[in-house]
Amino acid sequence: MKGLMIFRNNLRLQHNAALQSIKSKVDYLDCVFVIEPTWLANANVGRSSFRDCYSGGMGEHRRRFLIECLLDLDQQLRQRGSLLGVHFGEFSEVIERLILTHDYDVIALVDLPGANEQQQTQRLLRRFPLKQWLIADDFYLMDRADQRLGSLEYPQSFSKFRRLLDGMKIEPPKELLGRLPPPSIWAEICLKKLARENVEEAHSHSGASLQRLQGGENAALEQLNYYLHERGLIRTYKKTRNGLDGWEFSSKMSGWLAQGCLSVRTLFYEIQRHEDRYGDNESTYWLRFELWWREYFQWLARNAGPRLFSLRGIKRVNPLLTFYPEAFMAWREGHTQCDFVNAFMKQLRATGWMSNRGRQIVASYLINELGVDWRYGAAYFEQQLIDYDCASNWGNWQYLAGVGTDPRGRRRFSMEKQKDVYDPNGEFTKAWLEEDSSYERSSFL
């Protein structure tokens, strides 16, 4: 029997349900990952174009992180007698070609909530109905067949959804043991060339804390251990989580969760384990609570389909808009009239990361103060964020823009108030504006 393991946002060996289930069913196993050509198109060029944020390109930090994940996965697969075949092209076309050429009996992949990814999966299932398909649910905490999900009506508010999850317990994840079946094709891969072009350059001009945001399962497990067990930082999470800069104020797990270097089920289980050992407190509860938000957005996105990306959103309301490309460009480049916002945007461009507080503040500014179509902000975040996650990103943007599921409607933050509370001495703002010696505000706004 020949098997095909299609890696998507599950770039890990451990606690990988798709890999675990296909491993024992086949004699030969080809592990593959598809890189879409648009991802590598340079997303930082075309500064003058309002629309170039829809190019699908990844910013340098996101690209770097992904390639590090692939390098790490390939290395781990090799230690188990396998390897990662990296292919370039449109996902469905590449996979269809592989299946037709190599006539696989069993094919495994993970279910993802985004409309494109859903379409890709459905297209493959329709095209090859006689193959044995193993579709894993471990990008989520709950399985697709979970009865609790059946009781939901969409669109659903977070508070109702959350009640489903209260008291949820996760079983210990299954460890992957031993060697993997050998591949049937030993395709040479060009990861080294990609790494030379994307990883080294990005590292050469990034700060120390970014260097810790390194792609791959090994780095993810290290951070998990550091945050939960070694330093016990989870125990003060509720107090520190609104920090703006630095390594320790929040878990930093989002990038690894987004690429699937770590399963959300593993993280949830480790929080449980921590609580069993040291007791629960409001901070351990709060970290779990944030994972429920993540879960909420995943199922919302899966249900919303293309509406996740539409101007009128899940709620189908008309947001107030102006159409000044200059306003968007000033926001994106960190040249608005608000230094606090500018500092966050500089941080994002320089590192590929921004705190949750920062994301809320800059989103509110773009939507409410500049009146720009929220989708441009979401698309720019998609390009730049190391931890870009389709459901969490577009879901949060809709939420703040008042077109999602927030019963309170649009969220408008007072910039003065936010600055007074979260950057009272202006240290964060100063540090990021000083990074950019050519800093100036736009005269347009």
Q: Which residues bind ligand FAD (CB under 6 A)?
A: 241, 250-254, 257-258, 287, 290-291, 293-294, 297, 355-356, 359-360, 363, 381, 385, 387-389, 392-393, 396-397, 400
107 bridge partner residues: 4, 133
User: What kind and span of H or E run contains 249?
Assistant: none
Whole-angstrom distance, CA of residue 237 vs CA of residue 160: 24
* Cβ atoms of 244 and 422 closer than 8 Å: yes
Tell me the closest approach of the beta carbon of residue 194 to ligand FAD, in angstroms: 23
Cβ nearer to ligand FAD, comparing 287 with 327: 287
Tell me the closest approach of the beta carbon of residue 171 to ligand FAD, in angstroms: 20
Whole-angstrom distance, CA of residue 195 vs CA of residue 71: 8
Q: Which residues of 255-278 are buried (b: 16+ CB within 10 A; e: fewer)?
A: bbbbbbbbbbbbbbbbbbebeeee
- Distances in Å between the Cα of 28 and the Cα atoms of 5, 22, 34, 180 are 10, 10, 20, 9
Amino acid identity of residue 254, one-letter, is S
Tell me the closest approach of the beta carbon of residue 287 to ligand FAD, in angstroms: 6
Which token pair is 116? 């494109």
Cβ nearer to ligand FAD, comparing 297 with 428: 297
Whole-angstrom distance, CA of residue 438 vs CA of residue 288: 42
- H helix runs in 225-338, sequence order: 237-240, 254-259, 264-278, 282-304, 325-333
Tell me the closest approach of the beta carbon of residue 66 to ligand FAD, in angstroms: 14
- Distances in Å between the Cα of 135 and the Cα atoms of 27, 35, 198, 277 are 19, 20, 31, 34
Query: Cβ-count burial of 421 within 10 angstroms (0-12 exposed, 13-18 middle, 19+ buried)?
Result: exposed
Cβ nearer to ligand FAD, comparing 5 with 385: 385
Tell me the closest approach of the beta carbon of residue 265 to ligand FAD, in angstroms: 12
Q: Is the dihedral of CA 98, 103, 108, 112 positive or negative?
A: positive
Q: How far apart are the first and last CA of the chain?
A: 64
Tell me the closest approach of the beta carbon of residue 355 to ligand FAD, in angstroms: 6
Whole-angstrom distance, CA of residue 234 vs CA of residue 225: 11
Tell me the closest approach of the beta carbon of residue 195 to ligand FAD, in angstroms: 24
Cβ nearer to ligand FAD, comparing 31 with 220: 220
Cβ nearer to ligand FAD, comparing 254 with 405: 254
Tell me the closest approach of the beta carbon of residue 99 to ligand FAD, in angstroms: 31
Cβ nearer to ligand FAD, comparing 120 with 284: 284
Cβ nearer to ligand FAD, comparing 98 with 287: 287
Cβ nearer to ligand FAD, comparing 252 with 346: 252
Query: Cβ-count burial of 236 within 10 angstroms (0-12 exposed, 13-18 middle, 19+ buried)?
Result: middle
Cβ nearer to ligand FAD, comparing 381 with 428: 381
Cβ nearer to ligand FAD, comparing 2 with 346: 346
Which token pair is 339? 């230094």
Which token pair is 319? 């947001």
Tell me the closest approach of the beta carbon of residue 133 to ligand FAD, in angstroms: 28
Tell me the closest approach of the beta carbon of residue 387 to ligand FAD, in angstroms: 4
Whole-angstrom distance, CA of residue 402 vs CA of residue 412: 10
Residue-level length of the chain: 445
Tell me the closest approach of the beta carbon of residue 293 to ligand FAD, in angstroms: 4
Cβ nearer to ligand FAD, comparing 104 with 299: 299
